[in-house]
Chains A and B, each alone.
Chain A
Amino acid sequence: MISLNQVSKIYPSRQKSGPSTIALDNVSFTVGRKEFVSLVGKSGAGKTTLLKLIIAEEKPTRGKIFFDNKDISKLKGFQVPHLRRKMGVVFQDYRLFPKKTTYENIAYILEIMGKKDEEIAWEVSQVLEVVGLENRAYNFPDELSGGEKQRVAIARALIHRPEVILADEPTGNLDPYNMFEIIKLLVKIYEMGTTVVLATHDKQLINILKKRVITLQEGKVIRDEQRGRFIL
């Protein structure tokens, strides 16, 4: 479903003569349909860059990335939104729309896709139930706790039934209890049939999951195990 073929990403220095940064170095792997994959590594190992490349936020310097057998780097500007609508993205810092309620934050994706109002109302109420925020529908993000915000973010990533959910350190800002809740939610989504790619540096979390782990170090894949553990 997602396939990286010898992908490198090099950021040129902002100063003229400064050294450029190699964020990813010749990375290749494939993520299959209905798979749960964790990308692990220290901060700066290239996890976030990898996710950015998959959602076409950035273009690879070298190599190819395929999503559903289509080369992402060849997409034209107007095709990119359509690609992103097949994915759901969860960020460490939630990135909710601060001036929209929980309901509107989640409904936004369906509005983009041109769904009817009644349909949206039904779908949003369903997903709010999944993430356990039925009574928070009309609150604004700054009225929610960190854990609740992240659950809204997951609901937003989930609402349009994407083929894959990309989660970038979704538990990074949360306490252990909320972390666990979020992970349980991601596993539930996975069990319902959605591919999940989870980037994290949380050792404990990976060891609980017992799913495929791809380990990155300095932009390179150093390990790819089906029932992986966090070893660095």
Chain B
Amino acid sequence: MFNPLKRVINAGYKSFSRNIGLSLATVFIMILVLLLLSFVFLLRPGSETLIESFEERIDISVYFQEYVGEEDVLSIKEEIKKNPDVKEIEYTSKEKALERFEERHKDNPVIIESLKEIGYNPFVHSLNIKAQEIDKYEEIAEFLKASPFATLIDDIDFYERRLVIETVAALSENVRKTFLIFIIILGLIGFLVGFNTIKMGIYSLMKEIKVMKLVGASNWFIRGPFLVQGVIVGGISAIVSLLLTFLLTYGFDTRVQFFIPEISIFNLFVNNFWSLVLLQFGIGIGLGVFSSIVAISKYLNV
């Protein structure tokens, strides 16, 4: 191997192992920082899943005039499908609607009885629409009202459900914003804690760094071992915190699901595994190296 590089790596490793108390303290803090950042990182897809599960429950229904037949409704359905704001569209025939109604109220003899009293199927064909985004429902409703088949439509329930839809939209917007602020603050805390831990570690070696300079070491020869230590600390911290993230998400999966059934933290871990690996190694090593370079530069000016 290239001689100076071998020396620098060797010196970094020795410095790590001979200052083992300080090194382990740094590793410990870095693990906490990485766990915090991983938590923050998983919070985003987690909160997104939660918000989507709210929004998923929202839809609007379009009820057709009684005389409109199934074929017409199906061709209208195809027409509506072309609208890019529409995510899903489901057709419910009047027979199906009746069936569902009877199923839902089978324990209520009064309702079943009165249905029989009417003597015919009072339901109409309908289409159930889910929008791509929660704020697109109004546009879809307006689009339907302005469409050539508007006269065939009896009712769009957007106008009755408007308040609910807008409330959910506002809520998810708020949840998103809150999470974002949360993520930024926690990320910043993690960064500062990691940075300052390494800075203090280097501070304790200030005198040695100065002597290295005075006996003629070049800046890179002094920095090198610290960078190697940064890599070692970052690497170990990343491995341990990855393991801990696995154990924590695996162990607490069912417990968290008990409170928030929509979220499986273990699935979050699995689905984001490679991003997490990248995040933990990237931040662990990156923060270690970056902090070392910044902290040491102050003492190299001798």
Contact = CB atoms under 8 A, between A and B. Distances in A.
A55 B214 CA distance: 7
A82 B208 contact: no
Contact of A84 (B4, B214, B219): B214
Interface of A: 55, 57, 78, 81-85, 87, 89, 95, 97-100, 104, 108-109, 111-114, 116, 156
9 contacts: A78-B218, A78-B219, A81-B213, A84-B216, A89-B215, A99-B14, A108-B212, A113-B216, A114-B4
B217 A97 contact: no
Interface string B170-183: 00000000000000
Interface of B: 3-4, 7, 14-15, 18-19, 207-208, 211-219, 221, 302
B211 to A, nearest CB: 5
Given A55-B214, A57-B214, A81-B217, A111 B7 contact: yes
Contact of A109 (B3, B18, B216, B302): B216
A57 B302 contact: yes
Given A81-B217, A108-B212, A112-B217, 19 more contacts: A57-B302, A78-B218, A81-B213, A81-B218, A83-B216, A87-B216, A89-B214, A89-B215, A95-B207, A95-B214, A97-B211, A104-B14, A108-B217, A109-B215, A109-B216, A111-B7, A113-B216, A114-B3, A114-B4
Contacts of B217: 81, 108, 112
Nearest to A82: B216
Please provide the 10 A-B residue pairs with the shortest distance between their CB atoms, ordered closest to farther: A84-B216, A85-B216, A99-B18, A95-B211, A81-B216, A112-B217, A81-B218, A111-B7, A97-B208, A112-B221
Contacts of A111: 7, 221
